[in-house]
Chain A
Amino acid sequence: MKLYDYELSGNCYKIRLMLSILRVGYETQTIDFYPGAEHKSDWFLEINPLGQLPVIEDEGRVLRDAQAILTYLAVKHDNSSQWYPASEPARLGEVAQWLAFADGITGTASAARLHDGLFYDLDVEAARKGAHRLFRILDEHLWFAEQQGQDWICSGDHPTIADIACFPYVALSEEGGISRQDYPAIRRWMDRVKRIRGFVGMSGVFPASPAADGSAQTAA
């Protein structure tokens, strides 16, 4: 399997993170997203007419969209059906709901980061405001989940691809001037994600410090 990848992209990171957790080997082809804008080049637009990363090629198929790729990988490589609970309608509905929410995070928190870091011309105040609105909703949701003894975005004892989809641009939000100081439940959830076995970071997302005996890693 090949991943068209850019290190600093949070959406590409979602895929690298999922593949690491699922222990799936893959090759990468680096796309010169910045400053080369290779994702808008003619050859890449033939692969993805939307001009967006990530894209995978697997067994002759091309698949774009971070959330779609997460779905595909989880169903293909997770025999326990924990990451994508295909046979549980209620939980699967939650997963789909929060995958859409992750796209909202990309449209706000990621946009603010692109403005501050890579000088994208957009309304950064509107992007930050939108991100705070979503973070407030996520923080309250996670707080109530914790009261029910739940660690993850969707119900159940195991994380799902919804956690992976929402994590990167929450974790990178400060690069867009969006503080997480007012979202303690989000911060606790981030620490739990970082303890999932197989977790890897990216430039800008540091792993949790290793627990002395490794026992804090979530079995996954």
Chain B
Amino acid sequence: MTHTKCTDPVVLEQWHPLISDRELADLGEFRTTLLERPLTIKHGARGIATVTADGPGASPKVLQQYGYVWASFGQDPNSLFPFPEFEEPDRRFVPTGVFGVNVSAGRAVENFLDMGHFPYVHTGILGEEPHTEVKEYDVEVSETRDEVVATRCRFYQPKAALASDEGADVEYTYRVPHPNCALLYKSSPADPSRRDVIYLFLQPMGEEWVRAHTGMCILDEDNTDESIRYFQQVIFGQDKPILENQHPKRLPLDPRAETPIRADKTAIAYRRWLSQKGLTYGVISVAA
């Protein structure tokens, strides 16, 4: 009864998102599952959150950062990745919702990194035929920061953001600074010299069931939180059936397991990076 079903030390040592501070403040108390362990989160005095394991077993460590409550079952979890845009005072921080998805965290991250599906899944918004080409872009694994970074990703988008008036070539940068978290930087319609940030933080409830926390840190003084949230929910709702029909639901790390194309460079780097970390939870490891 007292053991965690997940025994992968790589995952256990990570911080995992549970709920946004705002949602917890509204609810006061929330029950959820992390790595197959039921937890109760309580909103305390001055916004301090407490997280306790339901039933026997040690309660996790707690961190409140970037607008979320995070938890870890690790002995000495590393500090969370840098996200400096979160601190910029003129940005709007809008958590756009959390959705349950029947898929592994790795599959969800990869979908977030993929531009090739835009014209077919997000037709008329993030892409449209005949603009289907994924142009050459750069990928590196930053050794100093231990993250996968894809730059110079360009794509024609009919409606890149709620604040967009017309179609435009949009430039993306992707960061994967955590096995289950990814950030997307894209040209801001409000200020071309700066970039909006969209994040996807995944909370693995099990190996094939996640809570997907989505949100934005953006420059937009015109649209309401509700309409920004709605725009993002429409996009996520389109991704959901695609994600849930992935087979297998866990992410195969063997480079021979699935056949990538050149547009999948980021995904290839991501899988290799996970392999090198020795991750086993939610993935199909390379056979020894």
Contacts and interface: CB of A to CB of B under 8 A. Distances in A.
A81 interface: no
Nearest to A116: B100
Given A8-B233, A35-B97, A119-B100, 7 more contacts: A35-B23, A116-B100, A117-B100, A117-B101, A175-B244, A177-B102, A203-B234
A32 B226 contact: yes
Given A7-B234, A116-B100, A119-B100, A36 B226 contact: yes
Chain B interface extent, by class? 20 to 34
Contacts of A118: 99-100
A7 B100 contact: no
A110 B285 CA distance: 35
A152 to B, nearest CB: 25
A7 B237 contact: yes
Interface string A202-217: 1110100000000000
A7 B230 contact: yes
Interface in A164-211: 174-175, 177, 202-204, 206
Interface in A1-40: 7-8, 30, 32, 34-36
Contacts of A7: 230, 233-234, 237
B22 to A, nearest CB: 9
B65 interface: no
Interface string B229-268: 1100111111011001100000000000000000000000
A50 to B, nearest CB: 22
A115 to B, nearest CB: 8
Contacts of A36: 226
A117 B203 CA distance: 13
B227 interface: yes
Nearest to B122: A203
B227 A30 contact: yes
A114 to B, nearest CB: 10
B226 A204 contact: no
Contacts of A116: 100, 102
A203 B100 contact: no
Contacts of A206: 241
B97 to A, nearest CB: 6
B230 A203 contact: no
A174 B246 CA distance: 12
A164 to B, nearest CB: 20
Contacts of A32: 226, 229-230
Contacts of B230: 7, 30, 32
Given A8-B233, A30-B230, A117-B99, A175 B23 contact: no
B237 A8 contact: yes
A128 to B, nearest CB: 12
Nearest to A172: B241
A111 to B, nearest CB: 14
Contacts of A203: 233-238, 240
B226 A175 contact: no
Contacts of B23: 35
Contact of B241 (A34, A119, A175): A175
A189 B100 CA distance: 28
12 contacts: A8-B233, A32-B230, A117-B100, A117-B101, A117-B240, A119-B98, A174-B241, A174-B244, A175-B240, A202-B237, A203-B237, A204-B241
A23 to B, nearest CB: 19
Contacts of B98: 35, 119
Task: Give 7 nearest A-B pairs by CB, closest first.
Answer: A203-B237, A203-B238, A32-B226, A117-B100, A116-B100, A8-B237, A204-B237
Interface in A84-139: 116-119
A34 B99 CA distance: 10
A21 B198 CA distance: 35
Contacts of B241: 174-175, 204, 206
A63 B26 CA distance: 31
A94 to B, nearest CB: 31
Contacts of A117: 99-101, 240
Contacts of A8: 233-234, 237
Contacts of B238: 203-204
A73 B279 CA distance: 55
Nearest to B31: A121
Contacts of B100: 116-119
Nearest to B26: A35
Nearest to B229: A32
